Structure 1
Amino acid sequence: MLLTDPGLGRRIQLQQGLVWLAAAQGDPCAALLRGLDTDPREYWRRLTERPLGRSATGAWVTARHAVASRAAAEPALCERPLLDGFGPSAADGAPQDQVPADGGDDPVFDVEQAWRRALAAVPAATGGDGGWDVVAVARAAAVEALALAWGLDADGRLELSAAVELTDGLLDASCYPQNLADTRRIARGVTALRALPAVGGSEERLLLAAVGVRMATDLVVNTLVRYPEATPRQDLEALWERLRAEPGGAARAVAETLRWAGPVQLRTLVAQAPCELAGQRIEPGEEVVILLGAANRDAEAFTDPDRYDPDRFAAAAPDRSDPVEAARAAQVVLPGAPSTRVLSFAAASAREGLSRLAVLRPRPNGTEAPARRAAAPVSRSLLAFAARTPLS
């Protein structure tokens, strides 16, 4: 296990060193994996020069929408397990007698009450001065939805929240090794989640907590943040007006965020059998990295791809209230969440959150760019997003 592996630090340093060396030698995929750059467009541009190329890291890489779509649909290419190495699996001794029964516990049905509670707690937490952190509130709402769905009491909520916080960075660790301290922290979080009676040996519940909360949080925040690589977009005041005025507006906004700045920017597939992709033979065991951020900004697939424009989904799915289905109808290449409920939950929580935030109209509190987590090539997560609005 990672918590007791004496050679783990050395292996992490070696893996990180190989990525940094490849990046220093000009490999654009390796540069993206380091997670240092705020604007990835130059790397995307170089990687779109070929439909499918081999990175110096050894993986096949595509940044083109058409190839990414084919790779995602290829049966021989399977998702690399997120939890490999981060604690025991259910088969290795997770408490099977605590595995919840399937059905009747979908947190999607609890997002409305969860957001109401999360926003109600903001004035007390800030002293009523109007300053608060959108990241913290969105995360609290997502955790609360899980707690409501799983019937947790106050102590159970605190345990769940603490364990979820420990797992932050799991998505990024799937593509780029985190430092030793963070790797051990994530492993402790996974172990703590498995120890909760509400999670037990349920892989789906574990992923909802360890991955779904982060994705739900980032979908909200990414809708509000101005990114340096984006063309000028509507300001927040215009966005709030539209969300308040248009039924389904929040769903279209989340669908566009899934395309424009999704919570998963890289997706790694592993070949389980020989297959062919973009004229290249992929051998068993080889990895294919899909650059979702680049594929969903492909000018061959989307008009004005760098522009944040929820209206692009109106024609594809005018009456859909499900952001995931709206994005899928518009040919967005979606994250390969191990469970469809993970992505559905994240999108539903973000849709509810944006609808409620539209009433409050939060604005950035300060002029500095929000700080990002280091070594976060998959999530590109923000550490915080300070906002100000009268929440009394």
Structure 2
Amino acid sequence: MNLELGKLMTLSFLDSLTNCSSLKWLDVSGNHLDGTLPNSMANLSTQLTWLAFARNRIFGSIPSGIQNLVGLTMLDMMNNFLTGTIPVGVGKLKKVEEIFLGANELSGQIPSSLGNISRLYQLDLDGNSLTGSIPSSLGNCTYMQFIYLHDNNLSGSLPIQLFRFPSLIEVNVRNNSFTGNLPLEAGYLKNLQVLNVSNNKLSGEIPSSLGNCLRLEYLFLDGNFFQGSIPSSFITLTGLQSLDLSSNNLSGNIPQYLENLPALRYLNLSFNNFEGELPKQGVFRNASEVSVLGNSKLCGGIQELKLPACSSQAFKKRGMSLASKVKISIIVVVLCLSSLSCSFATLYWVRKSRRKPFPVPSMEDPFMNMSYVELFKATDGFSSANLIGIGSFGYVYIKEH
């Protein structure tokens, strides 16, 4: 039953539908319905599978008797003015696969009883005033694919159970007050396409395990307190189309591989502490696709981004070039070899001087060329008066003056 009620402004017609025991489909979305949901709604057919009141002007609370509609597979009350809390009895609707209660004025906590709905694969509670934490019991909803909890007043840490759904496609929890780290378990989400945790109070490093989410297309981590560098594992995210890391405490160089991600069309790195040279290829070629405002230590990039030219010191910060490292290595080796050579040379000459023999008289020594006659005259005919000793080789005389 799909009604277009035009200017009908009341919900009294629901009373008459309680007699329709075979009613399976009721959709009055997008009308001008005004007023509160009657308690008689709890008496609608248990065979009802589709109940939709979206985009109306319904206010007041959700009747607790809704738990009687055990045949429901889809409940849609989005875009109204509903107040109060989400009835705990919703957890008794074991066949429900989709719940849409977003864009209302609901308050209180997310009931943990939702974890009893094992078939639930889409939960939309965004745009309300919900408080408290995400119940870990949602980890029991093993078929979960879409979770929309953004624009509430939720707090606490993100439960790791939220990131253990192998079929999860989209998670949006932006504009809340979540704290702590982004769980490493996010890397389990092999089918994840959209992750949005913007504008919370998350801290720590961006988990490198996100590089395992090979189907990821949209990643929004902006407006938190993340620190450290951009994980090198992001090089595997070849399907990534939008990446927003702005307004965090990230630092280090902007990875060169980002310019090689073929699908990347939006990159926001503004208001961090990045430094060094900005790449120029890929997404960095178009100033309308990349933003790096508020990073005072960046340089280079295309002219449209109006960054200062990179100085030699800036290049040094990106790491010493291979050529420079080779030159320095060669100089060090040469100096070491020169020092060793000098040491060995000095040692050689010292040792050689210690072993140097007593100088042998030259054959040109005048005493070696004296004739017998001259010797005879010099010793006065080998006179005993000139004899001073007897050696092993004969007599020793002194020359007569």
State whether TM-score is above 0.5.
Answer: no
Structure having the larger proportion of residues in helix: 1
Per the shorter chain, which TM-score range? under 0.3
TM-score (normalizing by structure 2): 0.17
**Structure 1-normalised TM-score?**
0.18
Bigger strand share: 2
Question: Which structure's CA Rg is the greater one?
Answer: 2
